[in-house]
């Protein structure tokens, strides 16, 4: 599902948003077709896969920006 359902809402440029979807494959058994800027994790309780998805996302972010940076470290 990812970005397809919220396109255009609130003036958010979805070219700058990336989703890690931990529900779709778990709930319906497959990835959504045509999902853009999205990585699917098999199960929300699989923290290893979630960590890998976050690590891969961070590798692709330009300019050293961080996702969810709390200011620590």
Q: Do the domain assignments include residue 47?
A: yes
User: In degrees to the nearest 10, what's the CA dihedral of 28, 4, 61, 49?
Assistant: 0
- Write the pLDDT tens digit of every residue in 25-55: 888 888 877 777 888 888 889 999 999 998 8
pLDDT value for 69: 47
Q: Do the domain assignments include residue 10?
A: yes
List, in order, residues 6 or more apart from 55 with CB less than 8 Å away. none
Q: Do the domain assignments include residue 69?
A: no
- The number of folded domains in the chain is 1
Q: Do the domain assignments include residue 68?
A: no
pLDDT value for 37: 82
Residues of the domain holding 24: 2-62
Q: What percent of the chain has pLDDT over 90?
A: 11
pLDDT value for 7: 53
pLDDT value for 2: 58
Q: Do the domain assignments include residue 70?
A: no
Q: Do the domain assignments include residue 58?
A: yes
Q: Do the domain assignments include residue 14?
A: yes
pTM to 2 decimal places: 0.61
Q: Do the domain assignments include residue 67?
A: no
**Mean of the per-residue pLDDT values for the chain?**
74
């Amino acid at each position: 599902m990812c970005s397809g359902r919220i396109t255009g809402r609130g003036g958010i440029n979805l070219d700058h948003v990336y989703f890690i979807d931990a529900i779709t494959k778990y709930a319906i058994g497959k990835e959504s077709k045509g999902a853009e800027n999205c990585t699917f994790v098999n199960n929300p309780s699989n923290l290893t896969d979630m960590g890998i998805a976050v690590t891969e996302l961070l590798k692709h972010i330009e300019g050293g920006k961080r996702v969810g940076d709390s200011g620590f470290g």
